[in-house]
Chain A
Amino acid sequence: KNEVEQSPQNLTAQEGEFITINCSYSVGISALHWLQQHPGGGIVSLFMLSSGKKKHGRLIATINIQEKHSSLHITASHPRDSAVYICAVKGSQGNLIFGKGTKLSVKP
């Protein structure tokens, strides 16, 4: 079993839909990251969470430390949101441990 599990692996949505991507982890963490990767490879850090909820524009990230679970929500999705979204946790060794990513495609 992977230490960081994401679901779904692939997600297709219509423009305007509300999107949720889930992440579960099995290790102790000091922080959880949500990352966005566009075709071509560049990675952008969207959120870093250690508790509660954060919001940035149409993006909302939540974390439940007791349940070892985090969600990334996108409201009013747009084709430019199409990307791979990656959940990563910082474990006790200092490095990030990554989920396999969720490939999101938003159709106009």
Chain B
Amino acid sequence: EAGVTQSPTHLIKTRGQQATLRCSPISGHTSVYWYQQALGLGLQFLLWYDEGEERNRGNFPPRFSGRQFPNYSSELNVNALELEDSALYLCASSLDRAYNEQFFGPGTRLTVL
């Protein structure tokens, strides 16, 4: 069974541009979580989608947004990129919103120049 996949692996953008990151959950999983790990900082919760709806978001500005598609894959969009958005972005999936275990993807490393 395939695990959580993310694309691209690496992404280089310049300040002010937009970035789009993609995540495919494990087959049958309906919940997708997005986390940010900036250099020197711990993992921070960004967004949670389940059954196509945003269920919760972390303490990030509105330029961080996303969506979940009918096949439960998800997209994270970061608008008006700033240098401090440079980070590893991790996606995790869970069977459903009541299930506790989350399975992580390999991450997308975003570099903003």
Contact: B102 with A41, CB < 8 Å? no
Partner pick for A30 among B43, B100, B102, CB 8 A cutoff: B100
Please give the distance in Å from A12's CB to the nearest CB on chain B. Answer: 20
Residues of A within 8 A of B101 (CB): 31, 33, 45, 48
At the interface, yes or no: B42 with Cβ under 8 Å from chain A?
yes
Interface centre among A35, A94, A99 (most CB of B within 10 A): A94
- Assuming the A-B contacts A42-B106, A48-B101, are A100 and B42 also in contact, with contact meaning beta carbons closer than 8 angstroms in the complex? yes
Partner pick for B55 among A31, A44, A94, CB 8 A cutoff: A94
Residues of A within 8 A of B22 (CB): none
Taking residues whose C-beta sits less than 8 angstroms from the other chain, chain A's interface range is 20 to 34
A35 vs B35: C-alpha distance in the bound complex, in angstroms?
Answer: 14
A90 vs B103: C-alpha distance in the bound complex, in angstroms?
Answer: 13
At the interface, yes or no: A66 with Cβ under 8 Å from chain B?
no
How many of chain B's residues have a CB under 8 angstroms from any CB in A? 24
Give the nearest-CB partner of A32 in chain B.
Answer: B100
Give the nearest-CB partner of A97 in chain B.
Answer: B45
Contact: A45 with B104, CB < 8 Å? yes
15 contacts between A and B (CB under 8 A): A30-B100, A31-B100, A41-B88, A41-B90, A41-B106, A42-B104, A42-B106, A45-B102, A48-B100, A94-B55, A95-B45, A96-B33, A96-B45, A98-B35, A99-B42
